Structure 1
Amino acid sequence: MAERDEGLLSRVRALERAIGEIGTTLDETTTCRELASFLVRNLDGTSATVDLLADTGGPLRRAAASAPAGEKAATAPDGRGAGSGASGDSLAVPLAVHDEEPLGTVTVTRAGGAAFAADEVALLRHTARLAARHVGHARRLAVTEDTALHLQRALVAEPGRPHPNLEIAGGYLPAGHRTLVGGDWFETVRLHFGRSLLVVGDVMGHGLAAAVDMNAYRTALREVAATDLPPHRVLRHLDSVVAEDDVRRPATCLLVRVDPARGSATFASAGHMPPVVFAADGSAELVDLPVGPPLGTGVGGYEPVTRPLVSGDTLLIFTDGLVERRDEDIDVSLARLAALRLPAGSGPREVVDEVLRRFGAHGAEDDVAVLAARVRARPTS
């Protein structure tokens, strides 16, 4: 009885260790390696391999292999099917959660032909189920991320068309691998009398819900902007509409109405980063704006600012992911942006590419959306 109790206690301790050691990341290959390593450490004298099926079907691939010190681990699938029983020195079980479809196969082999005890078989099956749950979770999360990313890319890739008198370029960069996509977007709306409205916004939070809310903001903004209200009144209307909807998340937003005929731009900000204007000589200047509260608070209080935007000037509007850094004060980051000196005559595409490069936006901690615009020079007769 004491021996059986000790064996049961040993098995429980092993299961507790498995919970802490298997599935420490959202990477399925890492999970498989943790499983194989755990089995080698806890089943004396065994080698372990984990073969995964692709989430779209197809042949098995060797995701992990581990062996005791001094032995060589197998590096390719050996063709054994899931669910095989013990065969003296070898045991294979499905990488699956109960009755779900197997995600692959876990195989342990013991040199010398010693059979696996019942407690060892139970430990193998339990850890295989544990790993399968983590792999399944990682794959479901990947599908959600992929859906959100495709939704957002589709939305920001097709902004409305400004008037031909305005040249634009945009860019969207998601944060690093395995970071949930956020609610950043940019937009252009064609207005009357040759004017265009430029928009950049950022819904708070990440994930599919933020991307869906971003689409709702974008749709509402198009409808309101079509009335040709000035930018600060567009923000006021959006704020009141969103404040009545408890489901929508707050968002920051910057609107710029560009009037090429007058050589001017009118700005209004709802809690957003200030824009920057690059002159024809490549020098930069931050536009000083009064900043109202984010959309969705119902507070309002948005004010317009109008300044010249002449031929040769390139306006850049962006989300906070471009400049915010965990180890740097935002004022310092904005000062770095204002200190940039680009090649003289840089147009919207060059400004977007160069600013993204110099600020290391491809490795930013948050999503980045940018939109640059320049009034097209009138042909001289």
Structure 2
Amino acid sequence: MGTPEPTTVGGWLVQAEACDDGMPTSFDPGTIAALFDGNPAGVAVLDHHLRYTYVNPALERLNGLPASSHIGRVFAEVLPDLSGQAAVLRAVLADGKPREETVGGQTWALSPDDERFWRATYHRLEAGGAACGLMAIIVEITDIARQRAELEQARGHVTLLSTAAARIGTTLDLDTTCRELAAFVVPAFADVAAVDVFPPDVGHAVRRPDPGVLRLRRAALRGVGVLDEQVQRFGHPGEYVDFAADSAVARCLADNQPVLDDWAAPGRSALTAERITASRALGLREALVVPLTARGNPIGALSLVRAEGSPAFTDQDPAVAREIAVRAAVGLDHARRYDHEHSIARELQRSLLSEPYGPHPHVEVATRYLPADRDVLVGGDWFDVVPLRDGRHLKAMGDVMGHGVEAAVAMSHYRSMLRVLASEDLPPHQILERLDSMVERSGVDRAATCLLAVVDRFAGACEVASAGHLPPVFIDPGAAGARIVTVPVGPPLGAGFGGYATASVPCGPGTVLFMYTDGLVERRGEDIDVSVRRLSSLTLPLSGRLDDLLDEVLDRFGEEAEDDIAVLASRIREGPPVLRPPLG
């Protein structure tokens, strides 16, 4: 051994021993121990071969090994699970620049944490101007790292929740809202998401499920990457899915609480076990199900599934998922209430638009009703055909102002009163006057436009009266265009002003009377007279069929409609009457 040379460690003068090649290899143990044994941070001194020469008690506790298991060994031999340190240590030894880094992994010390973290500082020790080793000071920061990760996760959750309201519920369509919810949580919160809702009350017949089985309608299903196609085997959107009583979805809805499903739980029903087995075959590992509830009423459930490789659900995730579900449920509730009202109005309008009696056998009638976009509430458009004495018949086309159930109900009142008045065999303008008076007395608070036409096939004439409605169109056989007939127009019904007049229009056999509501022609930014004049280009199709005429009309004018459209075409049959079976 050579002559010891002094060196400085942490501001203290320490005696170093030199090896045969003149390089200092270790330091006086007593001096080092006096300096660092009581330090709460882990301290290690390594020689120029990066072998441990000193370890203080704090580092013994951190590493879970006594000092004797360190001395004379390099870092990788003592802690094989913490790789990558040798390159950093050699760099500090070579250039003398101190370095600080965060190290993660596990040591031999028992710990409840899956992964621990340390902040390590390395600086070179010198003696006589030459590098003689390194000192490492290590402080465990596992709690700080965990708190930081939790803080980042909380910030992520806040960001996630703050954007939920903007991205979920952008329309009043229930299925669209469900798809937005599924797209929002995948992949930000789950690898697969399913939204299942209770079937609506109106307009959807659902086969009764087996006892003990919960049947929901799958409204949305979303998976990340290839999972998006693979999970379709569990039920495409629009299909009904059955859940056993022991399934997470059924338990979630029964208790109105989030359920973190334990797929390893024994005693599962065959239906639930089969679904779990199929999920595991796709690499899915666990599911979190949260209820979708608004105003105390259950709407359905949101199922969140994570696959192998994704982090497991934490204790905070059910609360975050529940908050997302609460915010989404508000939009779903609005959509469901709209859909409920929309369905009632549709059903009511559909029933009212059906012909109560078959028209006279000498009269041919075709009708169409085209609703506007689903985002537009149903309107109060209606039409009716009422047979009269002497082979005549009354045709009516009306439009109640406004939309929704109230408009459809008001429309039913108008139609009912009109049928009563039609039986009195009055001219059209008197029917409108009586109807206007009856509406005012009945309390119906929605005005309506109406066009009445009474066709007399023997006289070859059509008597027409209008209450604020658009003019009728007549298409004569073989004509190159249609006649838009200007008739006296009185005020809309319900105003109580009266003042209607009847005009007589030639209408022989084969002439088609075409009636319509404003949804067919009214366009934003265009004068209504210009829109109506386009109807003068109407001609009978080559087939001569009224149904084909209406199809062509809707194809030409219905695409850009912003309101519901009702159209009616009628004509007197030529030749012997064609008997039809009664409707209903």
C-alpha change, 1:161 and 1:72, in structure 2 (3 Å) is closer
Are 2:263 and 1:107 equivalent residues in the alignment? no
559, 572, 578: which one pairs with 1:375? 572
Distance 2:376 2:411 in 1: 17
Deviation at 1:200, TM superposition (A): 0.7
Cross-structure match for 1:92: 288
Corresponding residue to 2:464 among 261, 267, 278: 267
Q: Name the residue aligned to 1:58.
A: 215
Which of 151, 156, 163 does residue 17 from structure 1 map onto?
163
User: Which of these residues, 339, 343, 348, is aligned with residue 151 of structure 1?
Assistant: 348
Q: Deviations over 1:298-324 (max 9, x none)?
A: 111111111211122111111112222
In the TM superposition, what is the alpha-carbon distance from 1:51 to its structure 2 partner?
A: 3.9
Alignment of 1:162-181 (within 5 A): 162-181=359-378
Equivalent residues of 1:183, 1:206 under 8 A apart: yes
Give the partner amino acid of 2:167: E
In 2, Cα distance between the equivalents of 1:212 and 1:155? 10
1:128 is aligned, of 305, 325, 334, to: 325
Corresponding position of 2:112? none
How far does residue 95 in structure 1 lie from its aligned partner after superposition? 3.1
Answer whether contact 1:50 1:65 (CA < 8 A) is retained.
yes
Note the C-alpha offset of 1:217: 0.4
Distance 1:115 1:352, change over 3 A: closer
Residue 178 of structure 2 corresponds to: 32
Asked if the contact 1:265–1:309 (Cα under 8 Å) also holds between the matched residues in 2, the reply is yes
* 1:244 is aligned to 2:244: no
Runs of 4+ in 1 over 6 A off after TM superposition: 2-10, 86-89
Q: CA RMSD in A?
A: 3.3
Task: State the Cα distance separating 1:334 from its structure 2 match.
Answer: 1.4
- Per mean C-alpha deviation after superposition, the further-off stretch among 217-226 and 362-371 is 362-371
Distance across 2 between alignment mates of 1:100 and 1:257: 51
Residues 228-237 or 131-140, more deviating? 131-140
State the alpha-carbon separation in 2 of the partners of residues 345 and 119 from structure 1. 68
Moved more, 170-179 or 329-338: 170-179
Superimposed CA distance per residue, residues 135-185 of structure 1 (whole angstroms, 9 cap, x where no aligned partner): 344334333322222222222122444433332222222223343221111
Task: Verify the 8 A CA contact 1:293 1:301 in the aligned structure 2.
Answer: yes
Q: Which moved more, 1:33-42 or 1:365-374?
A: 33-42
Cα drift, residue 252 of structure 1: 0.4
Shift of 1:358: 3.1
Match runs of 1:281-296 below 5 Å: 281-282=478-479, 283-296=481-494
Give distance in 2, aligned partners of 1:311 and 1:18.
63
Which stretch has the larger CA shift, 210-219 or 131-140? 131-140
Larger Rg: 2
1:9-67 residue CA offsets vs partner (Å, 9 max, x unmatched): 87555433222222222334433343344335655xx5241242552563674823254
Q: 1:8 to 1:267 in 2, by over 3 A?
A: same
Question: Quick one: which amino acid aligns to residue 58 of structure 1?
Answer: R
User: Normalized against structure 2, the TM-score is what?
Assistant: 0.57
| Higher mean C-alpha displacement, 117-126 vs 288-297 | 117-126
Using structure 1 for the length normalisation, give the TM-score: 0.84
Would the aligned equivalents of 2:288 and 2:318 in 1 still touch at CA under 8 Å?
A: no
Q: What's the counterpart of residue 258 of structure 1?
A: 455
Corresponding residue number in structure 1 for 2:520 = 322
Residues 183 and 59 of structure 1: CA distance in aligned 2, closer, same or farther (over 3 Å): closer
CA deviations on 1:189-243 (whole Å, 9 max, x unpaired) are 2223332211111111122221111111011011112112211111111112212
Q: Distance in 1 between matches of 2:227 and 2:297?
A: 32
Q: What amino acid is aligned across from residue 85 of structure 1 in structure 2?
A: L
Specify the alignment match of 2:231 in structure 1: 75
Partner of 1:230: 427
Distance 1:59 1:20, change over 3 A: closer
Q: CA deviation at 1:347?
A: 5.2
Structure 1 residues 191, 342: closer, same or farther in 2, change over 3 A?
closer
Whole-angstrom CA distance in 2 between matches of 1:214 and 1:54: 31
Distance in 2 between residues matched to 1:350 and 1:113, nearest whole Å: 58
CA distance in 1, matches of 2:327, 2:513: 53
Give the letter for the 2:193 counterpart: T
Paired letter, 1:65: R
Identity %: 43
2:118 match: none
1:51–1:191 Cα change, 3 Å? closer
Separation in structure 1 between the aligned mates of residue 219 and residue 358 of structure 2, nearest angstrom: 49
3-state SS of the aligned residue for 1:85? strand
Q: Which has the higher contact order (CA 8 A, sep 6+)?
A: 1
**2:138 maps to what in 1?**
none
Aligned to 2:530: 332
Report how far residue 271 of structure 1 moved.
0.7
Structure 2: gaps (5+ residues): 1-146, 200-205, 207-213, 236-242, 253-258, 264-284, 577-584
Structure 2 CA distance for aligned equivalents of residues 60 and 224 of structure 1 = 46
